[in-house]
Structure 1
Amino acid sequence: MQYGSSFSVAENGYLPSEKFDDDGRIKRTGTWKSATAHIITAVIGSGVLSLAWCFAQLGWIAGSITLSLFSVITMYNSILLTDCYRSPDPVTGTRNYTYMGAVKANLGPLQYKLCGIAQYGVLIGITIGYTTTTAISMAAIKNSNCYHKLGHNADCKESNNMYMVIFAVIQIFLSQIPNFHKLSPISIVAAIMSFTYSFIGVGLSIAKIAEDGMAKTTLTGIPVGPDFSGTEKMWITFSALGDVAFAYSFCFVLLEIQDTLKSSPPENKQKKLATIIGIMASTVFYMLCGVLGYAAFGDKAPGNFLTGFGFYDPYWMVDIGNICIVIHLLGAYQVLAQPLFGFMEASSKQKWSQNKLVTNEYSLCGFDVNVFRFASRTSYVIVTTIIAMLFPFFNDFVGLLGAGTFWPLSVYFPIEMYITQAKIRKYSYTWIWMQILSLACLIVSLIAAVGSTRGLITSVQTFKPFQSVS
């Protein structure tokens, strides 16, 4: 496609240039509202379900401080990252369509490759985790009705495999959405669902406190005793840090979201507003879920408070909450998978530019179909589903993903890109402060990774492949 001063040449003729942006692509129409929906969809995910458990491990003091710090650090680094969408100038510079593109433009090819390993590795991991979490919520709906009919002590265990297959079939269809720009309706619905099940969790916690009073809680979390050694306390605390980090993991799709925004007002200004609103809203819900969930369950808070059956009644409310989780994660999977799909397809078109199966679009019942897109995305969904069936560990898997994501993608690359783009002088006050922040977050990520890895190793010793039950 070629572009002139007043008209743009398309395959089917000429189109007015006002339909295109400054880079020759179809004009972006996103606003800070749609970007906020994308952010909330990406941020408020399965991580919120484990926050009551995190508070039980960390206690009132460390739990509240940890959640607040992760919120502030994520918001700060996300705001830095919004200025890296264009280079070298954040308003008039060349667009960086992806997170990796921004890293390459600002930090060079070596860091670009390292970023690719980190970003796409994490995206794959999270989509696997979402497959597991969605299946658990689907099974919990059937279990809830079983407990209601047969009593709370009934054997209502349910295999998760069938539900993972159902999730995969739906994702195969949703994955044919060609790109991020077409996801706004799904993100809006998913964001509404995330608020809904968070409200349900908060409401059920308040009802439980009102009925039974506050459970036993402490300032420092589960106390060390005969059945809980100091070493075990340390490892589980480390894992809880990873869970909190995972709850704030979204920076790796921030620039892809920013690339959906229209050019006026400037994209970085719109994205900063969306980021502040999205993270603040998420933090309020996180704090409510963590605090009220811990107050309701105390030291016995389940790892997932809507599927761990801390709540049995009203069973229909628990069902609604889990239905909302399922709908939300159907959309969140796409928000996080689209950057990976886009990378695979762009690389393939560059490598096999003459192959019609890779490049040609066909019209089928009003939809644009590409053979390579269909085959590659379907294969990806199938492979991640099989892996999820093999390793169905919720809390430790979530913690490890959080630890692996937080420092490199949410701290290191945003800080280093901003330093380069803003030309911050080495050893200046700002440079030193940013390096201290990066180092501190690296230490936290390493600690969380160690704790979660130990938890996974312990879980692997007792699990059987394809035998996941809820």
Structure 2
Amino acid sequence: MGEEAHSIEVVSSNIDTKLYDDDDRVKRTGTVWTASSHIITAVLGTGVLSLAWAIAQMGWIIGPTVMLIFSLITWYTSALLADCYRHGDPNFGKRNYTFMEAVHTILGGFNDTLCGIVQYVNLYGTAIGYTIAGAISMMAIKRSDCFHSSGGKDPCQISSNPYMISFGVIQIFFSQIPDFHEMWWLSIVATIMSFTYSLISLALAIAKIAENGSFKGSLTGVSIGTVTKAQKTWGFFQSLGNMAFAYSYSQILIEIQDTIKSPPSEVKTMKQATKISIGVTTTFYMLCGMTGYAAFGDTAPGNLLTGFGFYNPYWLVDIANAAIVIHVVGAYQVYSQPLLAFIEKGAIKRWPRINQEYKISIPGFRPYNLNLFRFIWRTIFVITTTIIAMLIPFFNDILGVIGSIGFWPLTVYFPVEMYIKQMKVRKWSHRWICMQSLSFVCLIVSIVSGIGSVASIVLDLKNFKPFSINY
């Protein structure tokens, strides 16, 4: 009897080892490639479309240089953050499942509260930005088809509201994916789409340069006279926020790292995925931003694809816009998951009874487990982001604000402070001074980019009526 019980116990243990990690959570299956897909989905997003405009505000010298600096800062601080996934020992310490949990465990105190506010406001704002981007691309397809079917006689004015609502309906459906572990396929599809529209934008810009017969642009960017001194200043500051947004993903790095299987250590895999992802995205950013600026010069549009208007081959622009829509559907989910999970975890802890699932039979498919609380809460979340997007549908301005809010605290401050404490970096040592200097400089960048972006929103709101914007 004793031997039988012992054998049963061993079998049970073996099964558990295959299905669960050492902390009794479901076994992680992520690899360097799935992690890279998540990162590229988050980083190589619609921010690439604003980079030609951002370079136009700075010129040929400062623009590409600042973009490269942002990429290096993001790569460096991401490596610091990866070392904070496990508390104490980077390879064997207790796992932190979320960015906020890492801050709570390592720093604690007010940092915990500050991180929660900044991270979740940033994630919520990103969802709003992606709603605007998705709607603009859907409208661009509709206008393009309208323009060509009428032979250019119809101005094809279109309200953005139906398209934002349509995007919201799509997100209500996809928001029912429970967590990161079950949405790897969506990230891979979104990654493919981001490469698609980036390559099309690049190809169209190269064709435009060939058509012009020369490179446009100047060493100092938009000149005073074409715009006022104030507009030049605000535009420069806002472009910093746009570039910061283009590289923003640190706030979900820990969540992505928590999908990676071990061994090898999650730190090693995450650093490799970060290196691959930042390298790939920076290459695309440089190519798209610089060719876009070379094609349009100082008049580069806020959304690069809109600059090609309804030129032939218009169907290629339509494909690019369709790829953007598919991409932002996935990116919206990647950025929303940490916020959705945080609210659900807190609510279930307080009211355990709400965490009930109901099995729904679907003919021809396996039964679907409906969590009523998750369905209602996530639907409300999508509705609110859609409404706010309809109220403030300014793509470039929103990207600038989001980038400036999240860049310093999430990409620089918390990773630096956590790493210093985790690795016991001695105060006033050469390394400590360098890391704190980097943090201070990035704080200044966040402040000035935020001022520029808010100033632009204020100017746009002067001639704007909510829910009535047409393109």
Contact (CA 8 Å) 2:242, 2:400: kept in 1 or not?
A: yes
Name the amino acid aligned to 2:357: E
Specify the alignment match of 1:191 in structure 2.
191
Contact (CA 8 Å) 1:147, 1:312: kept in 2 or not?
A: no
Q: Whole-Å Cα distance in 2 between the matches of residues 149 and 52 of structure 1?
A: 30
State which drifts further: 15-24 or 440-449: 15-24
Shift of 1:306: 1.2
Deviations 1:403-439 (A, max 9, x none): 0010000000000000010000100111000000000
Contact (CA 8 Å) 2:144, 2:310: kept in 1 or not?
A: no
1:171 aligns with 2:171: yes
Name the amino acid aligned to 1:230: K
SS in structure 2 of the partner of residue 368 of structure 1: strand
1:100 aligns with 2:100: yes
Runs of at least 5 residues in structure 2 that lack an aligned partner in the other structure:
1-7, 362-366
SS in structure 1 of the partner of residue 427 of structure 2: coil
Deviations 1:45-100 (A, max 9, x none): 11111111111111111111110000000000001100111001110000000000
Q: Whole-Å Cα distance in 2 between the matches of residues 381 and 273 of structure 1?
A: 34
Contact (CA 8 Å) 2:103, 2:418: kept in 1 or not?
A: yes
Name the amino acid aligned to 1:73: I
Name the amino acid aligned to 1:193: M
Specify the alignment match of 2:4 in structure 1.
none
SS in structure 2 of the partner of residue 369 of structure 1: strand
State which drifts further: 445-454 or 153-162: 153-162
Name the amino acid aligned to 2:200: I
Shift of 1:369: 1.3
1:73 aligns with 2:73: yes
Q: Whole-Å Cα distance in 1 between the matches of residues 174 and 338 of structure 2?
A: 14
Shift of 1:213: 1.9
Alignment TM-score, normalising by the size of structure 1? 0.95
Shift of 1:263: 1.2
State which drifts further: 15-24 or 44-53: 15-24
Name the amino acid aligned to 2:454: T
Shift of 1:383: 1.0
Specify the alignment match of 1:364 in structure 2.
360
Contact (CA 8 Å) 1:127, 1:384: kept in 2 or not?
A: yes
Specify the alignment match of 2:428 in structure 1.
427
Name the amino acid aligned to 1:175: S
Name the amino acid aligned to 1:33: W
Specify the alignment match of 1:267 in structure 2.
266
SS in structure 2 of the partner of residue 16 of structure 1: helix
State which drifts further: 303-312 or 154-163: 303-312
Name the amino acid aligned to 1:314: P
Q: How high is the sequence identity, in percent, across the aligned residues? A: 55
SS in structure 2 of the partner of residue 292 of structure 1: helix
Contact (CA 8 Å) 2:158, 2:470: kept in 1 or not?
A: yes
SS in structure 2 of the partner of residue 286 of structure 1: helix
Indicate how the Cα distance of structure 1 residues 6 and 175 shifts in structure 2: closer, same or farther if over 3 A, else same: farther
Specify the alignment match of 1:325 in structure 2.
324
Count of equivalent residues: 459
Contact (CA 8 Å) 1:31, 1:270: kept in 2 or not?
A: yes
Contact (CA 8 Å) 1:56, 1:299: kept in 2 or not?
A: yes
Shift of 1:196: 0.6
SS in structure 1 of the partner of residue 369 of structure 2: strand
Specify the alignment match of 1:38 in structure 2.
38
Contact (CA 8 Å) 2:75, 2:278: kept in 1 or not?
A: yes
Alignment TM-score, normalising by the size of structure 2? 0.95
Q: Whole-Å Cα distance in 1 between the matches of residues 59 and 227 of structure 2?
A: 15
Shift of 1:468: 2.3
Specify the alignment match of 1:458 in structure 2.
459
Specify the alignment match of 2:137 in structure 1.
137
SS in structure 1 of the partner of residue 222 of structure 2: coil
